[in-house]
Amino acid sequence: MSNEEHQGDALENLLQENRKFPPSEEFAATAVAKPAIYDEAKSEGTEFWARQARELLTWDTDFTQTLDWSDAPFAKWFVGGTVNAAYNALDRHVEQGNGDRVAIYFEGEPGDTRTYTYAQLTEEVKKAANAFESLGVSKGDRVAVYLPMIPEAVITMLACARIGAVHSVVFGGFSADALRSRIDDAEAKLVVTSDGTYRRGKPSSLKPAVDQALKKEGHTVTSVVVVKRNGEPVEWQDGLDLWWHDIVDSASAEHTAVAHDAEHPLFILYTSGTTGKPKGILHTTGGYLTQSAYTHKNVFDLKPEKDVFWCTADIGWVTGHTYVTYGPLLNGTTQLMYEGTPDTPHQGRWWELVEKYKVSILYTAPTAIRTMMKWGDEIPAKYDLSSIRVLGSVGEPINPEAWMWYRRVIGADKAPVVDTWWQTETGATMISPLPGITVTKPGSAQVPLPGISVDVVDEMGQSVPNGSGGYLVIREPWPSMLRGIWGDPERFKETYWSRFDNMYFAGDGAKKDADGDIWLMGRVDDVMNISGHRLSTTEIESALVSHPSVAEAAVVGARDETTGEAVVAFVILRGSAKSDDDIVTTLRNHVGQEIGPIAKPRHILVVPELPKTRSGKIMRRLLKDVAEGREVGDASTLADATVMQQIATSMRK
């Protein structure tokens, strides 16, 4: 069976799903979003967004035009408006009398805790802003942030936003090489890092990766600010390295936020695409903040006076940007931030935290849900989870079984589950049920949010009828849309706007069911989704080929019960290289070094040949069949039909 047929089958099974969960009357009665919001958005058009922008944010200068799309696909939202992100996330809550409300409950992996009220967090951000300015960082400069999940990560991002510096957060799981290429691409002036963090009960280091990244001359970094987190010894370079506690703690807590243009760059976040080099996705201020606040409030039914929100994502990913740093704080939310892994020191850690902090809204990824499902119902059953009232999922399609488990075991069979579809590029949620309104279906993200225009189209760009599948597209510009790829406007047009006329192509396959609800079917390009993390097959192939023992490599994402997909690599060695266990370990480590541990292939298979068409294109579809243990599909277009047999033989060895 071919891969497409196989997917088709899985799809049919999914669409047999007919369980439906209407919101309870009590929930609906007090819900933030009322059903009329859909009609309002439709009738108001872009003015709907103007209203959201004015209601949700405090502008220094009001904007004069909601959307300028004259230079499409380069959008300008809220033209003429000026706004400061940090002021909106912090100072204004203090000015409005909510300074004593908790902004962040921090729980470290070893169990140390810190609490920041809005007043305290504002003060910390002002100090950090002064400290960064004293290092010569000013508006428009880029700052690389390589930090674990500690409050200083949020403080750093907001301090940058406050002074108009552009943050570029690099996930702590990326390697020194990956960090350096991101520093170089953005020409970062400052790096903010920590000595390390705690991982699975042990100190783990970060600073050595920064040292390694900056070893080679020719970079643009003039200072490295280091947070002391785990106290492990670090190498120190005088004139470059500075302790956070030396420069931030002593800085003045007076700092006036200057408003920035609505289109001033807020951050760059690198993400994998279909080619080898990660793309620096650029987001700007007014539109991103508006949609972050709007989605956070409506999708999670946020009641800032009483909710405790917990998004488990790391700030190294877009989810951590929009639903840890920006959305929650803009809305004056109390949130939990947890540094560590879910099974340290025991598999009930998350539920212990939910009980301890009375978390009412939980937002996590299907891979985590499936892992906890595997650990067993008895673990969450030991804790009081009665505070939970809304459950969110993000990052990859959620299978109906995991959805049902999430609702039943974590949500006491009543908390609505919102499956939110979006991307680094979209900046904020685009497709999701609204709790209190939508009758939810396990496994479907269902409906575009009010104000968002999503469709599923065929090869020719025609909208498909209900019951059919195709490509997910976005038809109208949206406020938090990416404004481009850092330094590469052509690649921006080419990647997202060339596949279909006047539509944004997301790279995802999707299907409309009989009711017109949307089911996401995974990527249709060479992007893989491993535990909700985006990785490119080409990027890993390039990493493999950069090793002297490798002649050629092909990488596929193979279906995996827990992580969604797993990286499987097929390599041809160079003549002199020996095929043994050592080479597999060497190559896995090499990928870890080039990209980061998350990209290490689960399996590497040394093969004599790769299946190629007569024009030399690798048929990854066939390799995927092998990797997923299926019978190999139609191989009639192969240049050499015996190749697949050879691969199957090396597989058996």
The pair of structure tokens assigned to 193 is 């890092």
Task: Choose the stretch contacting ligand PRX; rule: CB under 6 A; options: 172-180, 333-341, 419-427, 497-505.
Answer: 419-427
Query: How far is 151 from 637, CA to CA, in rounded Å?
Result: 55
The pair of structure tokens assigned to 502 is 């006047």
Of the two residues 168 and 420, which places its CB atom closer to ligand PRX in the complex?
A: 420
Of the two residues 318 and 605, which places its CB atom closer to ligand PRX in the complex?
A: 318
Query: How far is 569 from 541, CA to CA, in rounded Å?
Result: 8
- Tell the smallest beta-carbon distance from residue 548 to ligand PRX (Å): 32
Query: How far is 407 from 442, CA to CA, in rounded Å?
Result: 9
Asked whether position 523 contacts ligand PRX by CB under 6 A, the answer is yes
Which of 196, 265, 380, 507 lies at the binding interface for ligand PRX (CB under 6 A)? 507
Query: How far is 166 from 301, CA to CA, in rounded Å?
Result: 30
- Tell the smallest beta-carbon distance from residue 442 to ligand PRX (Å): 13
Query: How far is 15 from 328, CA to CA, in rounded Å?
Result: 34
Task: Choose the stretch contacting ligand PRX; rule: CB under 6 A; options: 19-27, 293-301, 391-399, 599-607.
Answer: 391-399
Asked whether position 529 contacts ligand PRX by CB under 6 A, the answer is yes
- Tell the smallest beta-carbon distance from residue 543 to ligand PRX (Å): 19
Task: Choose the stretch contacting ligand PRX; rule: CB under 6 A; options: 96-104, 501-509, 578-586, 598-606.
Answer: 501-509
- Tell the smallest beta-carbon distance from residue 422 to ligand PRX (Å): 4
Asked whether position 423 contacts ligand PRX by CB under 6 A, the answer is yes
User: Distance of CA 480 to CAs 45, 60, 78, 288, 417, Å?
Assistant: 16, 20, 11, 4, 24
- Tell the smallest beta-carbon distance from residue 130 to ligand PRX (Å): 33
- Residue 234 has φ and ψ, to the nearest 5°, of -130, 155
How many residues are given for the chain? Answer: 653
Q: Scanning residues 262 to 281, which ones bind ligand PRX (CB under 6 A)?
A: 271
Asked whether position 506 contacts ligand PRX by CB under 6 A, the answer is yes
Which of 156, 230, 424, 495 lies at the binding interface for ligand PRX (CB under 6 A)? 424
Q: Scanning residues 293 to 332, which ones bind ligand PRX (CB under 6 A)?
A: 317-319
Query: How far is 354 from 337, CA to CA, in rounded Å?
Result: 11
On the 0-12 / 13-18 / 19+ scale of CB atoms within 10 A, 57 is buried
Of the two residues 82 and 531, which places its CB atom closer to ligand PRX in the complex?
A: 531
Of the two residues 263 and 419, which places its CB atom closer to ligand PRX in the complex?
A: 419
Task: Choose the stretch contacting ligand PRX; rule: CB under 6 A; options: 192-200, 239-247, 504-512, 602-610.
Answer: 504-512
Of the two residues 388 and 528, which places its CB atom closer to ligand PRX in the complex?
A: 528
Of the two residues 147 and 506, which places its CB atom closer to ligand PRX in the complex?
A: 506
Task: Enumerate helices (H) and strands (E) in the chain, giving the number of each.
Answer: 23, 30
Asked whether position 508 contacts ligand PRX by CB under 6 A, the answer is yes
Which of 291, 298, 420, 495 lies at the binding interface for ligand PRX (CB under 6 A)? 420
The pair of structure tokens assigned to 517 is 């609800």
Task: Choose the stretch contacting ligand PRX; rule: CB under 6 A; options: 46-54, 167-175, 414-422, 642-650.
Answer: 414-422
Q: Are 33 and 434 in contact (CB under 8 A)?
A: yes
Pairing outcome for strands 454-457 and 469-474 = antiparallel
Asked whether position 141 contacts ligand PRX by CB under 6 A, the answer is no
Q: Which residue in this structure is represented by tokens 């947070």?
A: 227
- Tell the smallest beta-carbon distance from residue 298 to ligand PRX (Å): 16
Q: Which residue in this structure is represented by tokens 């799309």?
A: 69
Tell me the chain's radius of gyration from C-alpha atoms: 24
Query: How far is 57 from 91, CA to CA, in rounded Å?
Result: 12
Of the two residues 307 and 419, which places its CB atom closer to ligand PRX in the complex?
A: 419
Query: How far is 552 from 544, CA to CA, in rounded Å?
Result: 8
Q: Are 303 and 435 in contact (CB under 8 A)?
A: no
Which of 83, 242, 394, 599 lies at the binding interface for ligand PRX (CB under 6 A)? 394
Query: How far is 459 from 109, CA to CA, in rounded Å?
Result: 48
Of the two residues 198 and 270, which places its CB atom closer to ligand PRX in the complex?
A: 270
Q: Residue numbers of the site for ligand PRX (CB under 6 A)?
A: 271, 317-319, 394-397, 419-424, 445, 506-508, 520, 523, 529, 534
